[in-house]
Structure 1
């Protein structure tokens, strides 16, 4: 007897009740599998949506950081090659001075409203005395 001449077992037919039961179980299993694919923690569609949103956010952050990096690279280049800019930064940001140099700081000018308030305060002080 060769492999091609195997005897096949006769197939049993299912009763209509068994067919309905088999169909219900099959549909339930497919529904459970589908729900698992959609809602499974860590691998479902919800997780996929969250990961896509995070990817978009990270891409925006990358673009922003690349722009900031470009500005900083230009600033570094300017500090290395432009002595006037270097001196300006040293004076403004770090308060450095040249030899025999002094800094005089003046209070900002007062606005008209501030002057009126000062006059009113002076008048009140005079009344209290």
Structure 2
């Protein structure tokens, strides 16, 4: 089983637990964005967007670079690999279970050979 320090995973999953932050990560996966650009689709203030970005930064998912008065954010996907490795244990578990279920269902649906019919006198 993959062992990880729980604090980084807790922080990553906390950051991913909010739909706004997940949408921001989706935007950053396409290209770096300013805080204003990240706030715009949600009609939120820059301060509110900055709070979300700070959570993402704490999880290591976002890097912020200050360019004059503009704060540019970019995705750092490395922590997502940590989360993916942890989830991989359970992915393998469920894949194995689903493979077993598929085999059982195929066996159940497979044609069965006809049974021998015996008459009442005991001869076939």
TM normalised by structure 1 equals 0.30
The structure richer in helix per residue is 1
Taking CA–CA contacts closer than 8 Å with sequence separation of 6 or more, which of the two structures ends up with the larger relative contact order?
Answer: 2
TM normalised by structure 2 equals 0.31
The structure richer in strand per residue is 2
Q: In terms of Rg, which structure is larger?
A: 1
